[in-house]
Structure 1
Amino acid sequence: MAQSSDIEWTDATWNPVTGCTKIGRGCDNCYAERFAERWRGIAGHPYEQGFDLTLWPSRLMQPEAWKKPRMIFVNSMSDLFHKEVERAFIDQVFDVMERVDWHVYQVLTKRSSLMRAYLHKRYGSSAVPSHIWLGVSVEDEQHKGRIDHLKQVNSDARFISFEPLLSPLHAIDLRGIAWAIVGGESGPRARPMQEAWVHQIRDACERDSVAFFFKQWGGARPKSGGRLLDGEEWNGFPWQIVPKSIIEQLSL
C-alpha cells in the first residue's frame, strides 16, 4: 500500500489485487498497465509479473497498520470486480474494510454489473457501510449504463470517475450520485478532451446537487494541461457522506 498518493482525490492506495484486462475504450492506454509492464521479468520486483492479474493475500491486512484515518483508493492498479477475482477473495477485502472502519475506502470499477450483484448478495436490502464508497468509471456515451448499475446499489456514498473522458455524455442524470470526478487522458497516446464535454458534466452536477471535482486536462503528462476550468480549480468534495466519526481526522 502506498502511504501517500499523487492522485488528487485520495490519500493513499491499497492494492490487494494487481493487474487487469481491457473492457472498453477507457482501457486502451491504461496508465497502470504501462507502469506495471516496465518491470515485467525483474526478479523480486512487486510487478515482476507485469500486469497479469494477481491476488495478494499478504496485503489484506495493510490498512490495519494505519491508525490515522485516510481516504484509501482500493485497487488503483486493478479492478476488484474483475471476473477472475474469486468471490471468496472479494469477501476478504470487504471483511477488512468493514472491520478496519476508521478509514474511508473508495472502490472504483468498470465492471459495474458484477459489483451490483456482489453487493446485493452480501448486504441484501441493507445499506453498504457508509465508510465504503462505491464508484464506477464512465469514459464515453457507450458506457453510461454503468451509472444506472451504480444507482441500484443501496448506498449514499456513490461516485463516478469520468476519466479519461473520451466523448460527450448526453442527457446525463446524476441524481443519487454524491461526487463526480472528471479528467482528461494522459500519456504518450493521450486522446484530447473537449471543454464542452466537461461543461456538460459540471452543469449536470450543479443541477443535481453533486460535488464536482475537475482533476486535469491531461496530455503527454498528467499535469501537462493543468487543471483549471474556466480559469479556476474545481475541488468539490462530498463531505456530507464522510462518517462524522472520522471527518475531522482526514488529511484531505
Structure 2
Amino acid sequence: MADSTEIEWTDSTWNPVTGCTKVTAGCDLCYAERFSERFRGVKGHPFEHGFDLTLRHGRLEQPLRWRQPRRIFVNSMSDLFHKEVPVSFIDSVFDTMEQASWHTYQVLTKRSSLMARYLSRRYKGDLAPRHIWLGVSIEDAKNTVRLAHLKAAKASTRFVSFEPLIGPVGPISLKGIDWVIVGGESGPRARPMDEAWVLEIRDQCKSDKVAFFFKQWGGTRPKTGGRLLRGREWNQYPDKSAKRRVESVHGASY
C-alpha cells in the first residue's frame, strides 16, 4: 500500500494483486507493466517477477491498519477481476473493504462482465456498499459495452475512467453513473488525445448531471500537458452526503 500517490483523483493505493495481461488497445502501453518490468530479476524486489500476476496475501488486511479515512485506489498495478484471480481471494479483498468502512475504495476494471457477475453473486438482492465505488475503464468507442455492464452491476456508486482516451467514444448515456474521469496517455510512445473527444464526454456529464474529473492531457510524462481543459481544472467528485449528484472540491458545480 502506498501512503501517498501522484494519481490526482485518489489519496492512496492498495495492491493486494499485482501484474496483469492485456485485453484491449488501452493496455498496449500499460504504465504499470512498464514500471514493474524494470525490476524483473532484481532479487528481493517486490517486482522481482516483473508484471506476472501475483497475489499478495500479506497485504489483504492493510486498510484495517490505516486509521485515517481516505480514498483508496484498489489494485492500481493490476485488475482485481482478472480471470486468474480466485474468487476466494476477491472475497477476501471485499471482506476487508467492508470491514474498514471508514475508507472510500475505488475499484477499476476492464473485465466488466466478470465484475458484474461477481457482484451479483456476492450481494444477490442487495447492492455493494456506497463506500465501495465500482468502475470500468473505457478507452474508445469499441469498448463502451463495459458501460452497459457497469450499469447492470449491483453497485451503489458507479464510475467510468476514460483513460487512456485513445479515440472518440461517440454518443453515450451516462445516466446512472456517479463519476467520470478523463485522461490522456503518458509514456515514451503516448498516443495523443483530441480535445474534441474530451469535450464530448464533459458535455455528456453536464447533460446527465455526472461529476467530471479531468486528470491530464498526458504526453511523455503524466504532467507534460498539464490538467487545464479550456482554461479550467475539473476536480469534481460524487457527493455522497446529499441528494445532489455533483460536487466540486475546487470550485462551483455545473
* Fold equivalence (TM over 0.5): yes
More RCO (CA 8 Å, sep 6+): 1
How far did 1:170 drift?
A: 1.2
Counterpart Cα distance in 2 of 1:123 and 1:108: 18
The answer for the alignment partner of 1:95 in structure 2 is 95
User: Residues 20 and 82 of structure 1 are in contact (CA less than 8 Å); yes or no, is this contact kept in structure 2?
Assistant: yes
Among all aligned residue pairs of Structure 1 and Structure 2, give the percentage whose two residues are the same amino acid: 66
SS in 2 for 1:107: strand
* Corresponding position of 1:234: 234
CA deviation digits over 1:77-119, x for unaligned, max 9? Answer: 0000000000010011011111111111110000000000000
* 2:40 maps to 1:40: yes
Map Cα deviations across residues 104-159 of structure 1 (whole Å, 9 max, x no partner): 11100000000000000000020111110000000010000000000011233100
Q: Which residue of 2 aligns with 1:143?
A: 143
Correspondence 1:4 to 2:4: yes
Please name the residue that 1:177 is paired with: 177
Name the structure 2 match of 1:217.
217
The gaps in structure 1 that reach 5 residues or longer are: 243-252
Shift of 1:239: 2.1
For 1:249, the equivalent position in structure 2 comes to none
Q: TM-score, normalised by structure 2?
A: 0.94
Counterpart contact for 1:157–1:241, Cα < 8 Å: no
Name 1:247's counterpart in structure 2.
none
Task: Report the counterpart of residue 166 of structure 1 in structure 2.
Answer: 166
How has the CA–CA distance of structure 1 residues 107 and 164 changed in structure 2, closer, same or farther, with 3 Å as cutoff? same
Q: Is the 8 A contact 1:182 1:198 kept in 2?
A: yes
Quote the Cα distance in structure 2 between the aligned partners of 1:167 and 1:113: 22
Contact 1:130 1:241 (C-alpha < 8 Å) held by counterparts: no
Gaps of 5+ in 2: 243-254
Separation in structure 1 between the aligned mates of residue 139 and residue 43 of structure 2, nearest angstrom: 35
Match of residue 247 from structure 2? none
Shift of 1:241: 6.1
Other-structure match for 1:199? 199
The CA distance in 2 between the partners of 1:10 and 1:46, in whole Å, is: 22
SS at match of 1:240: coil
Shift of 1:240: 2.6
- Aligned CA RMSD, in angstroms, stands at 0.9
Contact 2:129-2:156 at 8 Å conserved across structures: no
**C-alpha contact (below 8 Å) 1:156/1:178 kept by paired residues:** no
Residue in structure 1 matched with residue 250 of structure 2 by the alignment: none
Partner of 2:106: 106
Q: 1:241 & 1:77 partners in 2: Cα distance?
A: 30
| SS of match in other structure, 2:13 | strand
Contact 2:116 2:154 in 1 (8 A): no
- TM-score, normalization by structure 1: 0.95
Q: 1:216 to 1:132 in 2, by over 3 A?
A: same
Give the whole-Å Cα distance in 1 for the aligned partners of 2:127 and 2:92. Answer: 19
* Distance change >3 Å, CA 92–CA 11, structure 1 → 2: same
> Aligned letter for 2:14?
W
